[in-house]
Amino acid sequence: MSRPAFVLVRPQMGENIGAAARAMLNFGLDRMRVVGPRDGWPNERAVALASGAGRVLDAAMVTETTAEAVADAQWVLATTARDRDLTKPIYTPEAAMTEARDRIAAGQRVAVLFGPERAGLENDDIATANAIVSVPTNPDFASLNLAQCVLLTGYEWRRVTTGAAGAETRMAGTDWANAAEIAALGDHFEERLGQAGFFFPEAKAPAMKRHLRNLWSRMPLTRADVQTFHGMMRQMVRWKERG
Amino acid sequence: MSRPAFVLVRPQMGENIGAAARAMLNFGLDRMRVVGPRDGWPNERAVALASGAGRVLDAAMVTETTAEAVADAQWVLATTARDRDLTKPIYTPEAAMTEARDRIAAGQRVAVLFGPERAGLENDDIATANAIVSVPTNPDFASLNLAQCVLLTGYEWRRVTTGAAGAETRMAGTDWANAAEIAALGDHFEERLGQAGFFFPEAKAPAMKRHLRNLWSRMPLTRADVQTFHGMMRQMVRWKERG
Protein backbone atom coordinates (compact mmCIF):
# COMPACT_ATOMS: atom_id res chain seq x y z
CA MET A 1 0.00 0.00 0.00
CA SER A 2 1.15 3.48 -0.81
CA ARG A 3 1.69 5.92 2.06
CA PRO A 4 1.03 9.58 2.77
CA ALA A 5 3.78 12.14 2.38
CA PHE A 6 4.60 14.11 5.53
CA VAL A 7 5.56 17.67 4.69
CA LEU A 8 7.62 19.68 7.19
CA VAL A 9 6.95 23.33 6.42
CA ARG A 10 9.86 25.70 7.20
CA PRO A 11 11.28 23.57 10.02
CA GLN A 12 13.80 25.36 12.18
CA MET A 13 15.82 22.99 14.38
CA GLY A 14 17.70 20.14 12.75
CA GLU A 15 17.05 18.14 15.93
CA ASN A 16 13.33 18.28 15.25
CA ILE A 17 13.72 17.26 11.63
CA GLY A 18 15.74 14.23 12.75
CA ALA A 19 13.22 13.36 15.44
CA ALA A 20 10.41 13.66 12.91
CA ALA A 21 12.23 11.25 10.59
CA ARG A 22 12.55 8.73 13.41
CA ALA A 23 8.91 9.16 14.40
CA MET A 24 7.84 8.55 10.81
CA LEU A 25 9.95 5.43 10.37
CA ASN A 26 8.68 4.06 13.69
CA PHE A 27 5.36 3.70 11.95
CA GLY A 28 6.65 2.64 8.56
CA LEU A 29 6.41 6.06 6.89
CA ASP A 30 9.28 7.17 4.70
CA ARG A 31 7.98 9.85 2.33
CA MET A 32 9.21 13.11 3.86
CA ARG A 33 9.08 16.47 2.13
CA VAL A 34 10.69 19.61 3.48
CA VAL A 35 9.67 23.15 2.54
CA GLY A 36 12.24 25.93 2.97
CA PRO A 37 14.28 24.46 5.85
CA ARG A 38 15.68 27.41 7.81
CA ASP A 39 19.23 26.04 7.97
CA GLY A 40 19.44 24.69 4.42
CA TRP A 41 19.74 21.11 3.25
CA PRO A 42 21.19 18.61 4.01
CA ASN A 43 21.13 19.42 7.71
CA GLU A 44 23.88 17.88 9.85
CA ARG A 45 21.95 18.07 13.12
CA ALA A 46 18.98 16.38 11.50
CA VAL A 47 21.18 13.56 10.22
CA ALA A 48 22.79 13.11 13.64
CA LEU A 49 19.45 12.98 15.42
CA ALA A 50 17.78 10.73 12.86
CA SER A 51 20.09 7.86 13.90
CA GLY A 52 18.85 4.88 11.94
CA ALA A 53 16.21 6.85 10.08
CA GLY A 54 18.75 8.73 7.95
CA ARG A 55 17.36 7.18 4.79
CA VAL A 56 14.14 9.10 5.33
CA LEU A 57 16.15 12.31 5.15
CA ASP A 58 18.23 11.11 2.19
CA ALA A 59 15.08 10.45 0.20
CA ALA A 60 13.30 13.65 1.24
CA MET A 61 12.02 16.00 -1.44
CA VAL A 62 13.03 19.60 -0.67
CA THR A 63 11.05 22.49 -2.15
CA GLU A 64 10.85 26.24 -1.74
CA THR A 65 7.10 26.52 -1.43
CA THR A 66 4.33 24.53 0.18
CA ALA A 67 2.45 24.54 -3.13
CA GLU A 68 5.31 22.68 -4.84
CA ALA A 69 5.52 20.16 -2.04
CA VAL A 70 1.87 19.17 -2.34
CA ALA A 71 1.42 19.66 -6.08
CA ASP A 72 0.87 15.96 -6.81
CA ALA A 73 -1.51 15.32 -3.92
CA GLN A 74 -5.25 15.01 -4.33
CA TRP A 75 -5.89 15.35 -0.60
CA VAL A 76 -3.88 17.72 1.56
CA LEU A 77 -4.21 17.90 5.33
CA ALA A 78 -2.90 20.69 7.56
CA THR A 79 -2.10 19.93 11.19
CA THR A 80 -2.87 22.77 13.58
CA ALA A 81 -2.83 22.97 17.35
CA ARG A 82 -5.51 25.56 17.80
CA ASP A 83 -8.84 25.86 16.12
CA ARG A 84 -8.85 28.49 13.46
CA ASP A 85 -11.80 30.35 12.20
CA LEU A 86 -11.88 28.50 8.91
CA THR A 87 -14.75 26.84 7.24
CA LYS A 88 -12.81 23.69 6.55
CA PRO A 89 -13.50 20.26 7.92
CA ILE A 90 -11.57 19.50 11.09
CA TYR A 91 -10.52 15.87 11.58
CA THR A 92 -9.10 14.01 14.51
CA PRO A 93 -5.87 12.17 13.61
CA GLU A 94 -7.91 8.96 13.62
CA ALA A 95 -10.55 10.23 11.21
CA ALA A 96 -7.90 11.87 9.03
CA MET A 97 -5.74 8.75 8.70
CA THR A 98 -8.81 6.60 8.13
CA GLU A 99 -9.88 8.77 5.23
CA ALA A 100 -6.26 9.00 4.02
CA ARG A 101 -6.12 5.19 3.98
CA ASP A 102 -9.33 4.96 1.97
CA ARG A 103 -8.27 7.62 -0.50
CA ILE A 104 -4.85 6.02 -0.98
CA ALA A 105 -6.52 2.64 -1.49
CA ALA A 106 -8.57 4.34 -4.22
CA GLY A 107 -5.39 5.53 -5.92
CA GLN A 108 -5.12 9.06 -4.58
CA ARG A 109 -2.01 10.73 -3.20
CA VAL A 110 -2.21 12.28 0.26
CA ALA A 111 0.06 14.85 1.90
CA VAL A 112 0.06 16.05 5.52
CA LEU A 113 1.49 19.47 6.40
CA PHE A 114 3.30 20.08 9.70
CA GLY A 115 4.14 23.65 10.66
CA PRO A 116 7.33 25.18 12.01
CA GLU A 117 8.09 24.62 15.68
CA ARG A 118 7.17 27.97 17.12
CA ALA A 119 4.56 29.55 14.95
CA GLY A 120 2.74 26.68 13.26
CA LEU A 121 1.41 26.81 9.74
CA GLU A 122 0.57 30.15 8.18
CA ASN A 123 -2.81 30.89 6.70
CA ASP A 124 -1.39 30.65 3.19
CA ASP A 125 -0.16 27.11 3.93
CA ILE A 126 -3.54 26.17 5.30
CA ALA A 127 -5.20 27.58 2.21
CA THR A 128 -3.55 24.81 0.16
CA ALA A 129 -5.11 22.14 2.37
CA ASN A 130 -8.43 20.40 1.91
CA ALA A 131 -8.93 19.75 5.60
CA ILE A 132 -7.49 20.33 9.05
CA VAL A 133 -6.11 17.74 11.47
CA SER A 134 -6.17 18.68 15.12
CA VAL A 135 -4.96 16.44 17.94
CA PRO A 136 -7.59 16.50 20.71
CA THR A 137 -5.37 17.64 23.57
CA ASN A 138 -6.22 18.96 27.00
CA PRO A 139 -7.63 22.44 26.25
CA ASP A 140 -5.81 23.83 29.30
CA PHE A 141 -2.45 22.42 28.25
CA ALA A 142 -1.61 21.71 24.63
CA SER A 143 2.12 21.80 24.04
CA LEU A 144 2.77 19.28 21.29
CA ASN A 145 5.98 19.85 19.38
CA LEU A 146 6.69 19.04 15.76
CA ALA A 147 8.05 15.53 16.31
CA GLN A 148 5.22 14.66 18.72
CA CYS A 149 2.66 15.77 16.19
CA VAL A 150 4.37 13.65 13.51
CA LEU A 151 4.53 10.74 15.96
CA LEU A 152 0.82 10.80 16.79
CA THR A 153 -0.20 11.15 13.15
CA GLY A 154 2.13 8.32 12.12
CA TYR A 155 0.81 6.18 14.95
CA GLU A 156 -2.75 6.67 13.74
CA TRP A 157 -1.70 5.85 10.17
CA ARG A 158 -0.26 2.55 11.31
CA ARG A 159 -3.15 1.85 13.66
CA VAL A 160 -5.86 2.33 11.06
CA THR A 161 -3.93 0.55 8.30
CA THR A 162 -2.96 -2.51 10.30
CA GLY A 163 -6.36 -2.77 11.97
CA ALA A 164 -8.88 -5.45 11.21
CA ALA A 165 -11.20 -3.05 9.41
CA GLY A 166 -10.62 -3.26 5.68
CA ALA A 167 -10.17 -0.26 3.49
CA GLU A 168 -13.26 0.69 1.59
CA THR A 169 -12.94 2.33 -1.76
CA ARG A 170 -15.19 5.25 -2.35
CA MET A 171 -15.97 6.83 -5.68
CA ALA A 172 -13.45 4.50 -7.30
CA GLY A 173 -12.54 5.56 -10.80
CA THR A 174 -13.05 9.21 -10.00
CA ASP A 175 -10.22 11.32 -11.23
CA TRP A 176 -9.73 13.85 -8.46
CA ALA A 177 -7.98 17.11 -9.14
CA ASN A 178 -4.58 17.41 -7.52
CA ALA A 179 -3.29 20.40 -5.61
CA ALA A 180 -1.46 21.84 -8.62
CA GLU A 181 -4.67 21.80 -10.64
CA ILE A 182 -6.59 23.42 -7.79
CA ALA A 183 -3.85 26.04 -7.47
CA ALA A 184 -3.98 26.76 -11.21
CA LEU A 185 -7.74 27.15 -10.99
CA GLY A 186 -7.28 29.54 -8.09
CA ASP A 187 -4.69 31.49 -10.12
CA HIS A 188 -7.00 31.74 -13.11
CA PHE A 189 -9.95 33.04 -11.09
CA GLU A 190 -7.79 35.34 -9.03
CA GLU A 191 -6.29 36.93 -12.12
CA ARG A 192 -9.54 37.42 -13.96
CA LEU A 193 -11.51 38.52 -10.92
CA GLY A 194 -8.70 40.94 -10.18
CA GLN A 195 -9.03 42.46 -13.67
CA ALA A 196 -12.75 42.62 -13.11
CA GLY A 197 -12.29 44.60 -9.90
CA PHE A 198 -13.56 41.89 -7.57
CA PHE A 199 -10.95 42.38 -4.87
CA PHE A 200 -12.16 45.66 -3.48
CA PRO A 201 -11.36 47.52 -1.31
CA GLU A 202 -7.63 47.07 -1.74
CA ALA A 203 -7.07 46.57 1.99
CA LYS A 204 -9.35 43.57 2.02
CA ALA A 205 -7.86 41.96 -1.10
CA PRO A 206 -5.43 39.57 0.66
CA ALA A 207 -8.14 38.20 2.93
CA MET A 208 -10.57 37.89 0.02
CA LYS A 209 -7.96 36.01 -2.01
CA ARG A 210 -7.20 33.67 0.87
CA HIS A 211 -10.90 33.09 1.33
CA LEU A 212 -11.19 32.08 -2.32
CA ARG A 213 -8.17 29.76 -2.11
CA ASN A 214 -9.71 28.11 0.92
CA LEU A 215 -12.98 27.75 -0.91
CA TRP A 216 -11.39 25.99 -3.89
CA SER A 217 -9.25 23.69 -1.79
CA ARG A 218 -12.18 22.71 0.38
CA MET A 219 -14.31 21.57 -2.55
CA PRO A 220 -14.05 17.90 -3.59
CA LEU A 221 -13.30 18.77 -7.21
CA THR A 222 -12.69 16.28 -9.97
CA ARG A 223 -10.51 17.11 -12.94
CA ALA A 224 -13.68 17.57 -15.00
CA ASP A 225 -15.06 20.01 -12.43
CA VAL A 226 -11.88 22.05 -12.61
CA GLN A 227 -12.15 22.20 -16.41
CA THR A 228 -15.77 23.27 -16.06
CA PHE A 229 -14.81 26.18 -13.82
CA HIS A 230 -12.00 27.19 -16.16
CA GLY A 231 -14.47 27.05 -19.02
CA MET A 232 -17.03 29.24 -17.24
CA MET A 233 -14.43 31.89 -16.53
CA ARG A 234 -13.00 31.81 -20.03
CA GLN A 235 -16.46 32.27 -21.43
CA MET A 236 -17.20 35.23 -19.18
CA VAL A 237 -13.99 36.85 -20.41
CA ARG A 238 -14.87 36.18 -24.06
CA TRP A 239 -18.28 37.72 -23.46
CA LYS A 240 -16.68 40.78 -21.97
CA GLU A 241 -14.23 41.06 -24.83
CA ARG A 242 -16.99 40.90 -27.40
CA GLY A 243 -18.14 44.12 -25.71
CA MET B 1 -13.83 10.30 35.86
CA SER B 2 -10.77 9.00 37.68
CA ARG B 3 -7.58 8.53 35.68
CA PRO B 4 -4.80 5.96 35.44
CA ALA B 5 -1.50 6.56 37.25
CA PHE B 6 1.56 6.63 35.01
CA VAL B 7 4.57 5.14 36.78
CA LEU B 8 8.08 6.04 35.59
CA VAL B 9 10.34 3.22 36.72
CA ARG B 10 13.96 4.22 37.48
CA PRO B 11 14.01 7.14 35.02
CA GLN B 12 17.47 8.48 34.26
CA MET B 13 17.41 11.85 32.53
CA GLY B 14 15.54 14.73 34.15
CA GLU B 15 14.74 15.95 30.66
CA ASN B 16 12.73 12.83 29.98
CA ILE B 17 10.84 13.08 33.25
CA GLY B 18 9.87 16.66 32.41
CA ALA B 19 8.87 15.69 28.88
CA ALA B 20 6.78 12.82 30.25
CA ALA B 21 4.98 15.25 32.59
CA ARG B 22 4.17 17.50 29.64
CA ALA B 23 3.00 14.57 27.53
CA MET B 24 0.71 13.43 30.34
CA LEU B 25 -0.84 16.83 30.88
CA ASN B 26 -1.37 17.24 27.13
CA PHE B 27 -3.95 14.53 27.47
CA GLY B 28 -5.35 15.53 30.83
CA LEU B 29 -3.38 13.04 32.93
CA ASP B 30 -1.79 14.25 36.16
CA ARG B 31 -1.18 11.21 38.36
CA MET B 32 2.54 10.54 38.01
CA ARG B 33 4.51 8.15 40.16
CA VAL B 34 8.28 7.81 40.09
CA VAL B 35 10.20 4.74 41.22
CA GLY B 36 13.86 5.19 42.25
CA PRO B 37 14.77 8.20 40.08
CA ARG B 38 18.49 7.96 39.34
CA ASP B 39 19.26 11.57 40.18
CA GLY B 40 17.06 11.88 43.27
CA TRP B 41 13.97 13.99 43.80
CA PRO B 42 13.01 16.72 43.15
CA ASN B 43 14.90 16.91 39.88
CA GLU B 44 15.82 20.37 38.59
CA ARG B 45 16.17 19.36 34.96
CA ALA B 46 12.77 17.71 35.10
CA VAL B 47 11.20 20.87 36.51
CA ALA B 48 12.89 23.02 33.86
CA LEU B 49 11.72 20.78 31.02
CA ALA B 50 8.19 20.36 32.37
CA SER B 51 7.49 24.04 31.68
CA GLY B 52 3.83 24.47 32.50
CA ALA B 53 3.37 20.90 33.65
CA GLY B 54 5.35 21.39 36.84
CA ARG B 55 2.33 20.63 38.97
CA VAL B 56 2.38 17.05 37.68
CA LEU B 57 5.88 16.71 39.17
CA ASP B 58 4.92 18.51 42.37
CA ALA B 59 2.12 16.05 42.97
CA ALA B 60 4.10 12.95 41.99
CA MET B 61 4.37 10.05 44.42
CA VAL B 62 7.97 8.87 44.75
CA THR B 63 8.74 5.33 45.89
CA GLU B 64 11.73 3.03 46.14
CA THR B 65 10.18 -0.01 44.55
CA THR B 66 7.78 -0.72 41.73
CA ALA B 67 5.66 -2.83 44.07
CA GLU B 68 5.05 0.17 46.35
CA ALA B 69 4.17 2.39 43.41
CA VAL B 70 1.43 0.08 42.18
CA ALA B 71 0.25 -1.25 45.55
CA ASP B 72 -3.19 0.40 45.33
CA ALA B 73 -3.89 -0.57 41.72
CA GLN B 74 -6.23 -3.37 40.72
CA TRP B 75 -4.95 -3.45 37.16
CA VAL B 76 -1.31 -2.88 36.30
CA LEU B 77 0.00 -2.56 32.77
CA ALA B 78 3.65 -2.75 31.72
CA THR B 79 4.73 -1.00 28.52
CA THR B 80 7.43 -2.78 26.56
CA ALA B 81 8.91 -2.12 23.17
CA ARG B 82 9.72 -5.65 22.25
CA ASP B 83 7.67 -8.75 22.70
CA ARG B 84 8.82 -10.81 25.61
CA ASP B 85 8.36 -14.48 26.06
CA LEU B 86 5.83 -14.06 28.83
CA THR B 87 2.50 -15.75 29.30
CA LYS B 88 0.69 -12.48 29.77
CA PRO B 89 -1.88 -10.78 27.61
CA ILE B 90 -0.39 -8.22 25.21
CA TYR B 91 -2.55 -5.18 24.46
CA THR B 92 -2.28 -2.44 21.92
CA PRO B 93 -2.42 1.02 23.54
CA GLU B 94 -5.96 1.32 22.23
CA ALA B 95 -7.15 -1.95 23.75
CA ALA B 96 -5.29 -1.25 26.99
CA MET B 97 -6.78 2.22 27.47
CA THR B 98 -10.24 0.95 26.52
CA GLU B 99 -10.06 -1.69 29.22
CA ALA B 100 -8.51 0.81 31.65
CA ARG B 101 -11.45 3.15 31.02
CA ASP B 102 -13.96 0.38 31.66
CA ARG B 103 -12.19 -0.79 34.82
CA ILE B 104 -11.88 2.75 36.17
CA ALA B 105 -15.57 3.34 35.42
CA ALA B 106 -16.24 0.23 37.49
CA GLY B 107 -14.30 1.73 40.42
CA GLN B 108 -10.90 0.10 39.95
CA ARG B 109 -7.53 1.83 40.06
CA VAL B 110 -5.19 1.39 37.10
CA ALA B 111 -1.44 1.96 36.87
CA VAL B 112 0.78 1.91 33.78
CA LEU B 113 4.52 1.20 34.10
CA PHE B 114 7.09 2.86 31.85
CA GLY B 115 10.65 1.58 31.92
CA PRO B 116 13.96 3.45 32.09
CA GLU B 117 15.20 5.03 28.88
CA ARG B 118 17.88 2.60 27.87
CA ALA B 119 17.03 -0.80 29.20
CA GLY B 120 13.28 -0.84 29.56
CA LEU B 121 11.45 -2.60 32.36
CA GLU B 122 13.11 -5.51 34.10
CA ASN B 123 11.41 -8.85 34.43
CA ASP B 124 10.73 -8.19 38.13
CA ASP B 125 8.83 -5.02 37.22
CA ILE B 126 6.86 -6.86 34.58
CA ALA B 127 6.05 -9.55 37.13
CA THR B 128 3.98 -6.98 39.03
CA ALA B 129 1.88 -6.27 35.94
CA ASN B 130 -1.36 -7.95 34.87
CA ALA B 131 -0.83 -7.28 31.21
CA ILE B 132 1.59 -5.87 28.65
CA VAL B 133 1.09 -2.83 26.45
CA SER B 134 3.08 -2.77 23.26
CA VAL B 135 2.95 0.03 20.69
CA PRO B 136 2.67 -1.54 17.23
CA THR B 137 5.72 0.04 15.60
CA ASN B 138 7.54 -0.79 12.41
CA PRO B 139 9.31 -4.10 13.26
CA ASP B 140 12.40 -2.92 11.37
CA PHE B 141 12.61 0.36 13.26
CA ALA B 142 11.22 0.78 16.77
CA SER B 143 12.95 3.56 18.65
CA LEU B 144 10.31 5.06 20.94
CA ASN B 145 11.72 6.87 23.91
CA LEU B 146 10.14 7.26 27.33
CA ALA B 147 8.26 10.49 26.65
CA GLN B 148 7.01 9.22 23.30
CA CYS B 149 5.67 6.08 24.91
CA VAL B 150 3.92 8.19 27.57
CA LEU B 151 2.58 10.47 24.84
CA LEU B 152 1.05 7.67 22.77
CA THR B 153 -0.49 5.99 25.80
CA GLY B 154 -1.91 9.29 27.06
CA TYR B 155 -3.25 10.04 23.60
CA GLU B 156 -5.09 6.73 23.55
CA TRP B 157 -6.49 7.37 27.01
CA ARG B 158 -7.94 10.66 25.87
CA ARG B 159 -9.11 9.22 22.54
CA VAL B 160 -11.03 6.34 24.07
CA THR B 161 -12.46 8.40 26.93
CA THR B 162 -13.62 11.36 24.85
CA GLY B 163 -15.62 8.97 22.74
CA ALA B 164 -17.05 8.71 19.27
CA ALA B 165 -17.13 12.48 18.81
CA GLY B 166 -13.48 12.05 17.89
CA ALA B 167 -14.31 10.31 14.65
CA GLU B 168 -16.57 13.05 13.41
CA THR B 169 -15.73 15.75 11.01
CA ARG B 170 -16.73 19.08 12.41
CA MET B 171 -16.89 22.46 10.82
CA ALA B 172 -17.11 25.12 13.46
CA GLY B 173 -20.12 27.39 13.22
CA THR B 174 -20.91 26.38 9.69
CA ASP B 175 -24.10 27.58 8.12
CA TRP B 176 -24.69 25.21 5.24
CA ALA B 177 -26.53 26.46 2.19
CA ASN B 178 -29.90 24.87 1.68
CA ALA B 179 -31.24 23.42 -1.55
CA ALA B 180 -33.13 26.59 -2.45
CA GLU B 181 -29.97 28.65 -2.14
CA ILE B 182 -28.03 26.15 -4.24
CA ALA B 183 -30.80 26.21 -6.84
CA ALA B 184 -30.79 30.03 -6.92
CA LEU B 185 -27.03 29.96 -7.41
CA GLY B 186 -27.50 27.50 -10.25
CA ASP B 187 -30.15 29.80 -11.80
CA HIS B 188 -27.90 32.82 -11.57
CA PHE B 189 -24.95 31.11 -13.22
CA GLU B 190 -27.10 29.43 -15.84
CA GLU B 191 -28.67 32.73 -16.85
CA ARG B 192 -25.45 34.69 -17.07
CA LEU B 193 -23.45 31.90 -18.67
CA GLY B 194 -26.29 31.52 -21.16
CA GLN B 195 -26.04 35.22 -22.07
CA ALA B 196 -22.30 34.78 -22.36
CA GLY B 197 -22.71 31.94 -24.85
CA PHE B 198 -21.38 29.20 -22.58
CA PHE B 199 -23.96 26.57 -23.51
CA PHE B 200 -22.78 25.79 -27.01
CA PRO B 201 -23.58 23.98 -29.23
CA GLU B 202 -27.30 24.24 -28.69
CA ALA B 203 -27.79 20.47 -28.84
CA LYS B 204 -25.48 19.97 -25.89
CA ALA B 205 -26.98 22.74 -23.76
CA PRO B 206 -29.35 20.57 -21.69
CA ALA B 207 -26.58 18.13 -20.75
CA MET B 208 -24.21 20.99 -19.93
CA LYS B 209 -26.81 22.61 -17.71
CA ARG B 210 -27.49 19.35 -15.93
CA HIS B 211 -23.77 18.87 -15.43
CA LEU B 212 -23.54 22.32 -13.81
CA ARG B 213 -26.52 21.67 -11.54
CA ASN B 214 -24.92 18.44 -10.43
CA LEU B 215 -21.65 20.18 -9.79
CA TRP B 216 -23.22 22.81 -7.52
CA SER B 217 -25.27 20.31 -5.59
CA ARG B 218 -22.31 18.02 -5.06
CA MET B 219 -20.16 20.75 -3.49
CA PRO B 220 -20.35 21.18 0.30
CA LEU B 221 -21.18 24.88 0.06
CA THR B 222 -21.81 27.17 2.99
CA ARG B 223 -24.05 30.23 2.73
CA ALA B 224 -20.94 32.37 2.60
CA ASP B 225 -19.58 30.29 -0.29
CA VAL B 226 -22.82 30.77 -2.20
CA GLN B 227 -22.59 34.54 -1.71
CA THR B 228 -18.98 34.43 -2.87
CA PHE B 229 -19.96 32.69 -6.10
CA HIS B 230 -22.84 35.13 -6.65
CA GLY B 231 -20.41 37.97 -6.07
CA MET B 232 -17.87 36.62 -8.55
CA MET B 233 -20.50 36.34 -11.25
CA ARG B 234 -21.96 39.77 -10.57
CA GLN B 235 -18.52 41.28 -10.82
CA MET B 236 -17.80 39.56 -14.12
CA VAL B 237 -21.03 40.99 -15.48
CA ARG B 238 -20.17 44.50 -14.22
CA TRP B 239 -16.79 44.20 -15.86
CA LYS B 240 -18.41 43.24 -19.14
CA GLU B 241 -20.91 46.08 -18.88
CA ARG B 242 -18.17 48.61 -18.33
CA GLY B 243 -17.07 47.48 -21.81
For residue B142, give the CATH number of its domain.
3.40.1280.10
Residues from chain A contacting residue B142 (CB–CB below 8 Å): 26
Q: pTM above the 0.90 mark?
A: no
The answer to whether residues B192 and B75 belong to one domain is no
**Domain shared by A187 and A85, yes or no:** no
The least confident of A30-34, A73-77, A147-151 is A73-77
Check CB contact under 8 Å for B92 and A159: yes
- Mutation target vs A (from B82, B98, B208, B235; most A CBs, 10 A cutoff): B235
A54 located within any domain: yes
Among A160, A217, A232, most B C-beta atoms within 10 A, so best to mutate, is: A232
Point out the residue among A85, A138, A218 whose CB comes nearest to the CB of B27: A138
A230 and A140 belong to one structural domain = no
Residues B113-167: tens digit of each pLDDT:
999 987 789 888 888 888 889 898 998 888 899 999 999 999 999 999 986 444 3
CB contacts, 8 Å: B193 with chain A: 232, 235-236
Look up the ipTM and state it: 0.78
A173 within a domain of the structure (yes/no): no
Residues A147 and A200 in one domain: no
Instruction: Give the residue numbers spanning the domain of B139.
Output: 5-162
Looking at the structure, tell me whether residues B156 and B183 fall in a common domain. Answer: no
Domain boundary among A104, A128, A162: A162
More confident position, A223 or A170: A223
Number of domains in chain A: 2
Output DSSP code: residue A203: G
Which three-class secondary structure state does DSSP give residue A40? coil
- Give pLDDT tens digits for A83-93: 665 667 889 99
pLDDT tens profile B160-202:
998 644 434 455 566 778 878 888 999 999 999 999 999 999 9
C-beta atoms of B236 and A136 within 8 A: no
- For residue B172, the model assigns a pLDDT of 54
Contact between chains at B166 and A236 (C-beta distance less than 8 A): no
